[in-house]
Amino acid sequence: MGFQDKPYSRYMTRAILEKAINSLAGLIQGISIDGKINAIEAQFLQQWLYEHADLATRYPFTELLPRVRPAVASGILEPEEREDIIWLCNRLDQGSYFNQVTTDLQRLQGIVGGITADRRIHEAELRGLSEWLAEHEHLKSLWPYDEIDSLVTSVLADNQISPEEEDQLQELFAQFTALHDDRTITDPLLQKNGRLVGLCAVCPQIVFPDALFCFTGDSPRFSREELKAWVRELGGDTTPRVTRKVSYLVIGAAGNPLWAYACYGRKVEQAVQLRRAGHPLVLVHENDFHDAVADAM
């Protein structure tokens, strides 16, 4: 059964078309984000065309596909072709059915799919992704922007990607990459070899008035009561449990900076599940919390 023959298609047509446009734009950016495209990545783009064959005769794909097919046929995506496709996607997306946040998350989904298309992740690709993330900071606090930003920043810190780091990136990206259906995150990445990775937001913007804070793990310098007192002094409040009302979960800095899963599992898992469900809860490393307190005092 083709898309147009499905009973719900008349209600979802515009939304599905725009999601497909966004996934294509993101995919093109991800595949060519390092300035190169190889045969495996071209094959991935060919798969996109196959999966969206039902839309080929519908506007705006009647304009998009003539631009994409030559690149697929030749196996080469020239820089000008790339810019033409992205430009056209942007023009067709004006007056979007979705809000900008939804559009950009769909683009991000396509980008990470393009980066992992050839099952390899290179430093140049991560640099390009890092630049895109920096240009879309309005996605902060939304799954999986913080997790991706945190892990990418950590990996790029020493200007090289170790095999273990590449595995972590592949695993996190794979959970978010669902190019052809509505699945996004089914099993959030909580641990790798017994350690938590890619969870705390990078340079989070912490606002204290009327915000609700929860703490987990131990601080090497301060008691839990001291941390709570600062929050209350700055106009916020605290709770011992992770709930939908929590604004920030602060993770103690004691011990290994990657945090053993056994020490932090329950509250972190609850926080990740809430983020996955769409609640803008921010996971904050204790060091960033102290910086925010110092700035607010």
Span 169-223, pLDDT tens digits: 887 787 676 533 333 322 334 444 444 456 778 778 899 999 999 998 778 888 9
Span 76-85, pLDDT tens digits: 667 777 777 7
Residue 94 has pLDDT above 70, yes or no: no
Of residues 87 and 284, more confidently modeled: 284
CA–CA separation, 86 and 64 (whole Å): 10
Domain ranges of the chain: 3-176, 212-296
Tell me the fold of 212-296.
Rossmann fold (3.40.50)
Tell me, what's the pLDDT at 248?
Answer: 94
Peptide bond into 144 cis (omega under 30): yes
Tell me, what's the pLDDT at 14?
Answer: 64
Span 119-165, pLDDT tens digits: 888 898 899 999 999 999 888 877 788 888 888 888 898 888 988 88
Burial of 290 (0-12, 13-18, 19+ CB in 10 A): middle
CA–CA separation, 115 and 138 (whole Å): 22
Q: Which helix (DSSP H) or strand (DSSP E) does residue 283 occupy?
A: strand 282-285
Phi and psi angles of residue 282, each rounded to the nearest 5 degrees, phi first: -105, 130
